Amino acid sequence: MSLDTPTQKPYDRLSAALSEDLAAVNALIRDRMASKHAPRIPEVTAHLVEAGGKRIRPMLTLACARLCGYGGTDHVKLAATVEFIHTATLLHDDVVDESEQRRGRPTANLLWDNQSSVLVGDYLFARAFQLMVEPGSLRVLDILSNAAATIAEGEVLQLTVASDIDTPEETYLQVIRGKTAALFEAACKVGGVIAERDDTVIEALATYGDGLGVAFQMADDLLDWGGVDGEAGAIGKNIGDDFRERKMTLPVIRAIAAGDGEERAFWARTIGKGDQRDGDLEQALSLLQKHATLAQTRDEANAYVAKAKAALDVLPGDPLRDMLSDLADYVVARLN
């Protein structure tokens, strides 16, 4: 389809290199999403699954399995599993966040109702567990069921610390490991496990996935403020959503730590009490810029990218390895 030219984004190069496997994943997703008894299910999920999702998590499983020399077909099932888990969490997140837009389009809870989002999310979780059982690997099941628990725990933790302006950085890291990095890590690990590689390789894949996931979420949290320069992102995301939802992300945590009493009172009112007025978003942004915490967050993300890339060194030289390495760079490069 697309030519592998140096100007392509790493995502597109991976996508081209894995195009046959990805086509099989897409076919499997469509097949397993169907429900004979409840036509509402494919209606809701088709909306989400077709809505320009990048399939980054299933690509990680496919790429790691291939990079580890896997020659079977179970990686397709595991890649679809990972995407189902991701899609289920999106459906539930949108209910929890009362979101009205995702990727620039109305969310399922707005098009249908919260009930459908909750129940169809449950259906996708169940479908994911059916799929992950099929390859018959208990180690894979262990990894993916643990990831599912970490994800859910991270989501609850995020909810309980929302609006708590004393949230420490460690808690922020736990939250983003739960909401993002746990699934990236598991997606990479299971690729190595079905290829029956030794623990050194599997741990390296886990480190890569974790670093990529943490960096990805930090970048996402930064983009919610419009990026390092505070300019509006062009990715269909509203600037300041996290502020309005009173989420404690790294730029805010660091700005509160560095700020004076007057600034703390501002954060206590807007995030702590949720009393937000005209001009508060601009004021918040100017405080983040004053303390350079947007740039600091980018630097933190870059450190995780470096860790992710270094982990790949134990793997053999291979175009797929280089693409995974470039993908890690791109997670932060998209900020500039």
Interface contacts to a second copy, rule CB under 8 A: 35, 37-41, 89, 92, 95-96, 114-116, 118-123, 125-127, 129-130, 133, 136, 138, 141-142, 145-146, 148-149, 151-157, 159-160, 174, 178
With respect to a second copy, which residue has the nearer C-beta, 153 or 263? 153
With respect to a second copy, which residue has the nearer C-beta, 127 or 197? 127
With respect to a second copy, which residue has the nearer C-beta, 44 or 324? 44
As measured in angstroms, the least distance from the Cβ of 235 to a second copy is: 25
- Three-class secondary structure assignment of the chain: CCCCCCCCCHHHHHHHHCHHHHHHHHHHHHHHHCCCCCCHHHHHHHHHHCCCCCCHHHHHHHHHHHHCCCCCCHHHHHHHHHHHHHHHHHHHHHHHHCCCEECCEECHHHHCCHHHHHHHHHHHHHHHHHHHHCCCCHHHHHHHHHHHHHHHHHHHHHHHHCCCCCCCHHHHHHHHHHHHHHHHHHHHHHHHHHCCCCHHHHHHHHHHHHHHHHHHHHHHHHHCCCCCCCCCCCCCCCCCHHHHCCCCCHHHHHHHHHCCHHHHHHHHHHHHCCCCCCCHHHHHHHHHHHCCHHHHHHHHHHHHHHHHHHHHHHCCCCHHHHHHHHHHHHHHHCCC
Would you give the distance in Å from CA 23 to the centre of its chain? Answer: 21
As measured in angstroms, the least distance from the Cβ of 171 to a second copy is: 8
Query: What residue type is assigned to position 277 of the chain?
Result: R
As measured in angstroms, the least distance from the Cβ of 247 to a second copy is: 13
With respect to a second copy, which residue has the nearer C-beta, 21 or 185? 185
With respect to a second copy, which residue has the nearer C-beta, 107 or 293? 107
As measured in angstroms, the least distance from the Cβ of 44 to a second copy is: 9
As measured in angstroms, the least distance from the Cβ of 156 to a second copy is: 4
With respect to a second copy, which residue has the nearer C-beta, 186 or 335? 186
With respect to a second copy, which residue has the nearer C-beta, 85 or 324? 85
As measured in angstroms, the least distance from the Cβ of 132 to a second copy is: 8
As measured in angstroms, the least distance from the Cβ of 145 to a second copy is: 4
